[in-house]
Amino acid sequence: MSTAQRGNQRRTSARACAASFAALALAVSAAGCAPQAGSAGDGKTVSYWMWDAAQQPAYEKCAKAFHKKNPGLRVKITQIGWDSYWTKLTSSFIAGTEPDVFTNHVAHYPQYEKIGVLSPLDELGPTRGIKASDYEPGLAKPWTGRDGHRYGAPKDWDTVGLFYDKKVTREAGVSDAELRDMAWNPEDGGSFEKVLARLTIDANGKRGDERGFDKDNVVRYGLATNDAGGDNHGQSQWSAFTGSNGWKYTDKNPWGERYNYDQKRFQETIDWYFGLAEKGYMAPLEDYSQTNFPEVQVGSGKAAMATEGSWKLSAFSGLKGVDLGIAPTPKGPTGERASMMGGLADSIPKGAKNKKGAAKWVAFLASAECQNIVGKDATVFPATPEGTEKAVAAHRKNGLDVTPFTRHIEDGTTFSFPVTDHAADINAIMLPAMQEVYAGDSPASSLTTTNKQVNFLFQQDD
C-alpha cells in the first residue's frame, strides 16, 4: 500500500470514527428523552473488553484471583484488535450492548466523557476509594473530567526509549556508555545524529560519516522508520525530541483548546527529525508498513536502532539473533531528556448491565494484588510503584535493563499525552500533513496552516 493510500485509509477511518461519535451523541441525547428499559445482565457476569492480546494472559490471572474473592461473579474477557476496537465500542454504546468495563485510551476518552456515557468512578462504592496517590506521578490526572469526576482507573504506564542491537553498535565502535549519554539539537543533530550516521551503511560498505557515502543506496539505516506520527501525536516517533526542545502540544493539559503546531520549537525539531531521512540516516516513509514495524526492521538488520515505547519490550526482546540493548532518549536543547508518558485506564459505561460487579472488578484491577500479577508478567509497567518494581525485577531476571524507561519517572522528565476534544478529526488533519513533511514534499512551516485547521475545530465549539 502506498503512502497516499495509507493516508487516505487512516483519514477515512478517523472520519468514520468522528461520524460514529456524532451518531453516538445523537443516540444518547434521544435516549435521554425516553424511558429506559432495565438492564438485561444476569448480575453474575462482568464483561471486560481490551485490545492488547499480549496483556490478556495476565488479566486472565487477575480474573481467577478475582473469582476467588468474589464467589458467584465471573469476568468474561473479550480481546478485540486495535484497528476495530473503537468502532465496535462506539457501536455498542449506540446499540446498548456495551461491555461492563473496557480498557480506555486518553485519545478517545474525551469524546466519551463529553457526551456523558461514562460512569464517575468516585460515585461507585468499590471504586470510590481509588486515589491519585496510588499511582505513578501524573497517571491519574488525565482521567479527571471537566466536571471534576474520575472516569478512569489507571492500569499501566509507558515511556519511550531507544532499542538497538549491541552487535551492530559495537561493530561500529559505538559503546553502550556513548549511547546512554547522547544529546541532540536542531542545528547539527549533536552526538545523536553522529551516532546515527556511524551506524548507517550504504551498499558499498560506506558509513554515513565517511566520504563517498551514498544516501540513496542504503542497506542499513541508523534509525528505523515508525511512520510520521500524526496518528498518535508522534508518541514513539518525534515527541521525545519536541519535548526535550521545550515544546508543549496545547495551551493547557488536560482539556486544552489550542494546539501549538505553529511554534518555532516544534517546526525546527520536525524539520531536523525528518531531515534525517533526507540524509539517509533514517529509513524512508515508504519502508513503514503494518508488517514492517520498527522491531522487524531492527530484527532483519534493516535498521540499527529504533525509538519505541516500553509496550514493545516483548516484541524486541523476542527478536532472534539480536543482542538487545536499550538507551534513554537523548538530551535536548533544554538540557534534559523527555518522554511522553502514556497510560491506559479502566472505565465503566453508564449503561453497564452489571454496574455493581463492574465496580468490584475495576477496584480489583487497581488493587496491589492484580497490579503485582501484571508486574510479574512484565508485558507492560503497571500503574502502581510496587507493580512497576515487579516488572523491573522480572526483566532484570531475564537479563534486560529497563531503567531507560523508568528513569523518566524518577527524574520527572515525562509529559502527558494531550487530552483534548476532536481527537479523530485532529488525526485526520495531522497525519497526511506530517507524511508530506516526512516525504520531503513540504517543509515543517506548512504546519502553520495545518495548525489553523486544527484550532478551527475548537472555535466551532464556541
Tell me, yes or no, whether 108 and 97 share the same domain.
Answer: yes
If one compares 31 and 397, the residue with the highest pLDDT of the two is 397
Q: Return the minimum-mean-pLDDT range out of 4-13, 218-227, 229-238, 264-273.
A: 4-13
Tell me, yes or no, whether 315 and 354 share the same domain.
Answer: no
Tell me, yes or no, whether 123 and 173 share the same domain.
Answer: no
Tell me, yes or no, whether 144 and 282 share the same domain.
Answer: no
Cell of 225: 522508520
Asked if residue 90 belongs to a domain, the reply is yes
Environment class of residue 282 by beta-carbon count within 10 Å: exposed (0-12), middle (13-18) or buried (19+)? Answer: buried
Whether 187 and 366 have beta carbons less than 8 Å apart is answered as no
Tell me, yes or no, whether 207 and 319 share the same domain.
Answer: yes
Asked if residue 33 belongs to a domain, the reply is no
Q: Which tens digits make up the pLDDT trace of 295-344?
A: 999 999 999 999 999 999 999 999 999 999 999 999 999 999 999 999 99
Cell of 99: 461491555
pLDDT grade for 11, boundaries at 50, 70 and 90: very low
Asked if residue 409 belongs to a domain, the reply is no
The percent of residues above 70 in pLDDT, for the chain, comes to: 90
Read off the pLDDT of each residue in 111-128 and give the average, rounded to a whole number. 95
- pLDDT (0 to 100) of residue 290: 83
Tell me, yes or no, whether 152 and 199 share the same domain.
Answer: no
Read off the pLDDT of each residue in 119-129 and give the average, rounded to a whole number. 95
pLDDT grade for 26, boundaries at 50, 70 and 90: low
Q: How many domains does the chain have?
A: 2
pLDDT grade for 31, boundaries at 50, 70 and 90: very low
Tell me, yes or no, whether 164 and 151 share the same domain.
Answer: no
Q: How far apart are CA 340 and CA 158, in angstroms?
A: 8
- The domain spanning residue 109 has which CATH number? 3.40.190.10
Tell me, yes or no, whether 366 and 377 share the same domain.
Answer: yes
Is 34's pLDDT higher than 70? no
In terms of residue numbers, what domain contains 432?
A: 160-341+422-459
Is 32's pLDDT higher than 60? no
Asked if residue 417 belongs to a domain, the reply is no
Q: Return the minimum-mean-pLDDT range out of 21-35, 160-174, 207-221, 377-391.
A: 21-35
Tell me, yes or no, whether 439 and 354 share the same domain.
Answer: no
If one compares 99 and 462, the residue with the highest pLDDT of the two is 99
Q: Which tens digits make up the pLDDT trace of 419-435?
A: 999 988 999 999 999 99
pLDDT grade for 39, boundaries at 50, 70 and 90: very low
Asked if residue 4 belongs to a domain, the reply is no
Asked if residue 282 belongs to a domain, the reply is yes
Tell me, yes or no, whether 362 and 284 share the same domain.
Answer: no
Q: How far is CA 366 from CA 35, 56, 113, 328, 369, in A?
A: 34, 16, 21, 28, 8
- pLDDT (0 to 100) of residue 3: 32
Whether 380 and 312 have beta carbons less than 8 Å apart is answered as no
pTM of the model: 0.90
Strand order in the sheet with 303-309: 201-202, 218-223, 303-309, 160-165, 324-327
In the DSSP assignment, the letter for residue 121 is: G
Is 165's pLDDT higher than 50? yes
Could you give phi then psi for residue 215, rounded to 5 degrees? -65, -15
Read off the pLDDT of each residue in 126-154 and give the average, rounded to a whole number. 94
Is 459's pLDDT higher than 90? yes
Asked if residue 48 belongs to a domain, the reply is yes
| Half-sphere exposure at residue 57, Cβ-oriented, CA atoms within 13 angstroms | 7
Is 461's pLDDT higher than 80? yes
Cell of 404: 531507560
- pLDDT (0 to 100) of residue 40: 46
Mean pLDDT computed over every residue of the chain: 91
Q: Which tens digits make up the pLDDT trace of 190-247?
A: 999 999 999 999 999 999 999 999 999 999 999 999 999 976 699 999 999 999 999 9
Tell me, yes or no, whether 135 and 240 share the same domain.
Answer: no
Tell me, yes or no, whether 231 and 175 share the same domain.
Answer: yes
Asked if residue 98 belongs to a domain, the reply is yes
Is 8's pLDDT higher than 60? no
